[in-house]
């Protein structure tokens, strides 16, 4: 079980429904360029990048896909090589056997049932082998149709510190955020929280003195 940050939210602040709008607006002003760190040129490249990003860094994925996407341009390309060759090509992302198996299964389904195109709905994306809810949410949001809110380690930590949820499970955290966050912000909120989490609200040593949310945050040390 990852560390919980719920207990840090002790200060008395305004109710979360009154704080969510200024939280989003301040972060948007602070990080106007907040976006996904993965590099891709098509829905298929987006899907592959997100699938490869499990248990590794976006920087590492981008390093691998810079070569990978020159070799594999369509679903059939992933099926045309032996599994061992695909494993070698994605080896540096870690868990390469599981990822290669998931990629091949996904490409097979895309070819057989979706005309080689990446589906846009969450239900369809979740049918793809190796695609769990977080991956499906990322893909749907980046394709312009967010149907949920991405919950990664940064979103989990900041949501707990900001007192937006007391849950530990990502699915339950997402449910709390969906009830609270305006739908038009579902796609950009995770990017804002991720950027803020990487730059200011560090897991071990949050820089509350530099935080634009310090007066809205029940965990602020100021």
Q: Looking at 58, 77, 152, 176, which residue is catalytic?
A: 152
Distance CA 222, CA 212 (A): 12
CA nearest 82: which of 106, 94, 96, 100?
A: 100
Active site residue 99: no
> Which residues lie closer than 8 Å to 63 by C-beta, 6 or more apart?
92
Active site residue 152: yes
* Alpha helix segments (H runs only) across 53-199: 58-71, 75-79, 83-89, 96-113, 122-125, 133-142, 153-161, 170-180, 189-199
Q: Looking at 16, 89, 99, 134, which residue is catalytic?
A: 134
DSSP designation for 82: -
C-beta of residue 107 within 8 angstroms of C-beta of residue 79:
yes
Q: Please list the active-site residues.
A: 134, 152
């Amino acid at each position: 079980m990852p560390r919980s940050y719920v207990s840090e939210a002790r200060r008395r602040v305004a109710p979360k429904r009154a704080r969510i709008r200024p939280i989003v607006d301040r972060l948007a002003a602070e990080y106007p360029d907040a976006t996904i760190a993965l590099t891709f040129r098509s829905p298929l490249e987006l899907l592959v990048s997100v699938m490869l990003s499990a248990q590794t860094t976006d920087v590492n994925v981008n390093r691998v896909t810079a070569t990978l996407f020159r070799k594999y341009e369509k679903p059939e390309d992933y099926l045309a090589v032996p599994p061992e060759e695909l494993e070698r090509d994605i080896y540096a992302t870690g868990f390469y056997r599981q990822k290669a198996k998931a990629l091949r299964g996904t490409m097979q389904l895309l070819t057989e049932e979706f005309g080689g195109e990446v589906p846009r709905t969450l239900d369809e994306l979740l049918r793809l082998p190796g695609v769990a809810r977080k991956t499906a949410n990322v893909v749907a949001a980046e394709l312009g149709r967010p149907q949920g809110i991405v919950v990664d380690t940064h979103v989990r930590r900041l949501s707990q510190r900001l007192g937006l949820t007391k849950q530990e499970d990502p699915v339950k955290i997402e449910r709390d955020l969906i009830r609270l966050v305006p739908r038009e912000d579902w796609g950009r909120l995770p990017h804002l929280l991720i950027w803020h989490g990487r730059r200011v609200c560090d897991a071990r040593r949050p820089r509350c003195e530099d935080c634009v949310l310090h007066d809205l945050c029940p965990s602020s040390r100021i």
